[in-house]
Amino acid sequence: MTMQRRKIGRTGLEVTELGFGAAPIGNLYRAITDEQSEATVDAAWEGGIRYFDTAPHYGLGLAEQRLGAALQKRPRDGYVLSTKVGRLLVSSGESDHDQEGFDLESDLTRVRDYSAAGVRRSLDESRQRLGLDRIDIALVHDPDDHLRQAATESIPALCELRDAGEIGAVGVGMNYVQPLLELATHDYPAGVGIDVILVAGRWTLLDRTARPLLDACADRGISVIAAAPFNSGLLAGAEPPADGRFNYEPATPEVMAKAREFAAVARAAGTELPHAAMRFPLRHPAVAAALAGMQTPAEVAANVACADDLPESAWQRIEAVEPALG
């Protein structure tokens, strides 16, 4: 299958409109085997996905290791890979079960480091775990409490690596709109700037609070990766589950009612809720890709089935419904 691609900022990189989020193959919430991980990445490739995103944070390096191993057999110029900086993995000297949502035992611990030296070390170690010769997009990961250092150290250091040809694009990835907006609109020195923003869960059918961020990015030629289009799974099925979660928390009655309204309108428009949820972020001109986490070949197949756009007549009905937020 051939999937449509979109450019990243003013760089020469192009990503497929659907991206593969690798956190789940890092044992997010539940452990899986290396074989299942490889089968999931293989299914994504066969489905036409050519943009893959990971991070040291995901499974304390396990997601990078598994993704890199699965991509070894693929032509390196045939896909775009992003990983993240800001969390170094350091041995604690004692193995323990991970406390940040990943089902695994490890002696590694996460240490926040947004310094220029930390950024370079993080990328070097990511390349080793991935077993790949280069990283295409480097994203500063969750610098919520480190915005000044991200703007004055992390991003300039990444821009130096970009200018030297060691990476292809520089960006920031977070869950929250205001700090992303601050970094996108920061007055950087000449030659320093962001190519791409990754925002998770804030530009979806239900939550459109990222609109000011997306508009600012469009004005500046910055591309946006819209992650978590299903808002923690609430929009992933034809009918929202009764125990559905919204942005990692149990959905409120108001949010649940709005999700069910979108499901009903999507059906009336001739489609289903997941298809509308996957394609909606791409309606904004700043968005280059919708990025969804995938843990099984079946999840990949369901997401790939949502890759094609909907008729404009369907969008007219779906977009007439007000979101829960934004």
Choice among 51, 58, 79, 114 that is catalytic:
58
Secondary structure of 66-134 as H, E, C letters? HHHHHHCCCCHHHCEEEEEECEEEEEEEEEEECCCCECCEEEEEEEECCCHHHHHHHHHHHHHHHCCCC
Q: Residue 140: what pLDDT?
A: 98
Q: Residue 321: what pLDDT?
A: 97
Active site residue 51: no
Q: What is the pLDDT of residue 1?
A: 77
Q: Which mean pLDDT values do the consecutive 10-residue runs of the chain (326 residues) have?
A: 94 98 98 98 98 98 98 97 98 95 97 98 98 97 97 98 98 98 97 97 98 98 98 95 92 97 98 98 98 98 97 98 96
Q: Coil, strand, or helix at residue 242?
A: coil
> Phi, psi at residue 112, to the nearest 5°?
-70, 130
The pTM score is 0.97
pLDDT reported for residue 96: 95
Q: In this predicted structure, what is the pLDDT of residue 223?
A: 98
